[in-house]
Structure 1
Amino acid sequence: MYHRGHRAVQREAGVLDRADHAGRAIRTSIPDVAARFLAERPVLFLGADDGGGRLWATSLTGEPGFLRVVDPRTVVVGAGPAAVDPLAAALAGPTPVGMIAVDPVTRRRVRVNGVARPEGGGLVVHVDRVFANCPRHIQRRLPEPGPAGAPRVADRGAALTPGQRERVRAADTFFVTTASDEGGVETSHRGGNPGFARVTSPTELEWPDYAGNAMFLTLGNLALRPVAGLLFPDWGTGTALHVSGRARVETSPERVAEHPGAERVVLFTVTDVVEIAGPSPLRWSAPGYSRSNPPVA
């Protein structure tokens, strides 16, 4: 259930008992309630290793029903990445993936991990584990009609442009993909009021780690393999900002105190950036911020 990285972080935080209790929710098969939830979603957030040691997070979209649970250990994803997606090559063959489905209307989310292989223009995922997360820090959004376009690379580089830095500073939501040194992949949600993710230079970001379920799945992976992939979706335009790089956790009281409500801070060094215009036809309303979001300094 937990690897040695998870256990190390849980032990340092003094939450081994809480983590064991939370871990009882992790299943190796998909319950009916999760299958129904997945079937209703128009978007899936997914992360993987690109085969070159870099992690990326991305999204796949379709009409509700494009995610189908065909048996308790198998999810069929009726969409694949665009050719310009940073994970297109990796998802052309079998690869471990971490997935999360979020409903911004009800603030529910379900995570599914497993091994994906391509099939029929989409993916088939053999499930290793599945579990639900609490609704904290999910901003409420309503779907809106929007135009569909052909995905194209708007920018590619090794640092954030001024416009991309403003995108990160304005973000209230992003997704983070991590992996253990044994290859298991997690994709998780991070949310807060705009400004909770900070840009300290064109290649340096940081964000607070707020109190959660005590599993420390993301931080436990970083303890073993300090790399991550980030996805900053633009909810109004469908543009996707993909960022890959190195991450480490800072626990010094002085640094943590700079982020109200934080228990620790994640420091991220950018190595690769890909901005893709038009990968998603989905559009969403302005957010209703979660009441669990701490204030931003």
Structure 2
Amino acid sequence: MGFHSGELAVQEQAGVSGQAGRLSAMVGRGQLRSGTADFLGSARLAVLTAHDPDGTVWSSPLFGEPGFLSAVDSGTLHIDGSLPEADPLSDMPGGQLAGVIVIDFATRRRWRINGVVTTSPDGGTDLEVDQSYGNCPKYITIRTIDTPTGSLGPQRDPVFAGDSLRAEDRRLIQRADTFFLGTTHPTSGADTSHRGGPAGFVTAVHDRLWFPDYAGNNLFNSLGNIAVDPSAALLFIDFDTGTTLQLSGTAALTWDDSAPADEVHTGRGVSFTPERVVVSGAGR
């Protein structure tokens, strides 16, 4: 599976087409290898990006004890349990393209798995794998999740649902050193990526957010999707309280060719306008 037109366009504008081309085989892998299966079995947190029944894209947290994620075989990821009713993806349609990222903050390891989501006979969710690949540990803040911050089950409580950010939502965003970005492409499907930086690296002005695109692997899966389809989702997690902030809206790439570039800063960024807001709290 090669890069789509949006990824190629962003790679070209960033001047990294040759480097990205050499890594294209990594993204095309459609198997869960034994080392990946072991990592999945130890995970406590994953994030799923998919569309709700109305076609709105969301990124949802999946919390669980080790073992709630498993490789049924080399081509199938199994997610045990079901999303809580308050989650926008609790009744997501099966048969759609979805993207999952599995992350371990303690070891700074992350793995992306994209494919077709289906309902498992045991009531959980299966993902038929199209792509499976790791990312480097850059920008991952080390933290330990000893017990799931909430759970995958029904004990997560709805707090707020609306179409604009509240003051407390902006404060959560401005404290965050981590969030997850969900993007989608009409034929290549959905993708979930981790974004990290110092607290305050995401700015919130009125109802518009902006965050930088730091130097990375130069594949531009997320930015390439945005170049074609502006629909996007953001997920923020308050790891102290278990509060989750899910946003769905539209994104646009920003380029500042005059900005000084170094091994971190690139002059690239993303502007995001939330159109739907869902806040949930850890269940009691």
Aligned to 1:163: 168
Q: CA deviation at 1:147?
A: 7.8
Equivalent position of 1:200 in the other structure: 205
1:85 paired to 2:90: no
Aligned partners of 1:23, 1:167: CA distance in 2, in Å?
36
Question: Which residue in 2 is equivalent to 1:7?
Answer: 8
Inter-partner Cα distance in structure 2 for 1:3 and 1:167 = 34
1:72 counterpart letter in structure 2: S
Is residue 115 from structure 1 mapped to residue 116 from structure 2 by the alignment? yes
Q: How does 1:140-289 map to 2 (within 5 A)?
A: 140-145=142-147, 150-182=155-187, 184-201=189-206, 203-253=207-257, 261-278=265-282
Q: What is the CA–CA distance in structure 2 between the aligned matches of 1:142 and 1:276, rounded to whole Å?
A: 21
**RMSD between superposed Cα atoms in Å:** 2.0
Map of 1:34-73 to 2, 5 A cutoff?
34-73=36-75
Aligned partner of residue 79 in structure 1, secondary structure: coil
* Separation (CA, whole Å) in 1 of partners of 2:232 and 2:103: 20
Which residue does the alignment assign to 1:18? 19
Give me the whole-angstrom Cα distance separating, in 2, the residues matched to 1:263 and 1:236: 32
Structure 2 unaligned runs (5+)? Answer: none
Distance 2:89 2:103 in 1: 20
The total of aligned residue pairs comes to: 277
- Contact in 1 for aligned 2:174/2:200 (Cα 8 Å): yes
**Structure 1 range deviating more: 82-91 or 146-155:** 146-155
Q: Residue 146 and residue 29 in structure 1: after superposition, are their counterparts in 2 closer, same or farther (change >3 A)?
A: closer
- Farther-moved stretch of structure 1 (147-156 vs 108-117): 147-156
Contact 1:60 1:79 in 2 (8 A): no
Cα distance, 1:15 vs structure 2: 0.9
Partner residue, 1:289: none
SS of 1:39's equivalent? Answer: helix
> d(CA) in 1 for partners of 2:192 and 2:211?
16
- Residue 96 of structure 1 corresponds to 97
For residues 109 and 7 of structure 2, the distance between their equivalents in structure 1, rounded to whole angstroms, comes to: 24
Distance change in 2, residues 1:147/1:78 (3 Å): closer
Which string of whole-angstrom CA distances, capped at 9 and with x for unpartnered residues, describes residues 50-103 of structure 1?
Answer: 232321101112221111112110111112211110111215x33211000111
Paired AA for residue 55 in structure 1? V
Structure 1 residue 144 displacement after superposition: 3.4
Contact 2:65 2:147 in 1 (8 A): no
Identity of aligned residues (%): 37
| Residues 82-128 of structure 1 deviation map (CA, whole Å, 9 limit, x = unaligned) | 1110111215x332110001110010111000111122231011000
Which residue is 1:125 aligned to? 127
Once residues 76 and 84 of structure 2 are traced to their aligned partners in structure 1, the CA distance between those partners, rounded to angstroms, is: 23
TM-score computed with the length of structure 1 as normaliser:
0.88
3-state SS of 1:211 partner: coil
Distance 1:85 1:145 in 2: 20
Q: TM-score when scaled to structure 2?
A: 0.92
Distance 1:277 1:121 in 2: 24
Deviation at 1:226, TM superposition (A): 0.7
Aligned AA (1:8): A
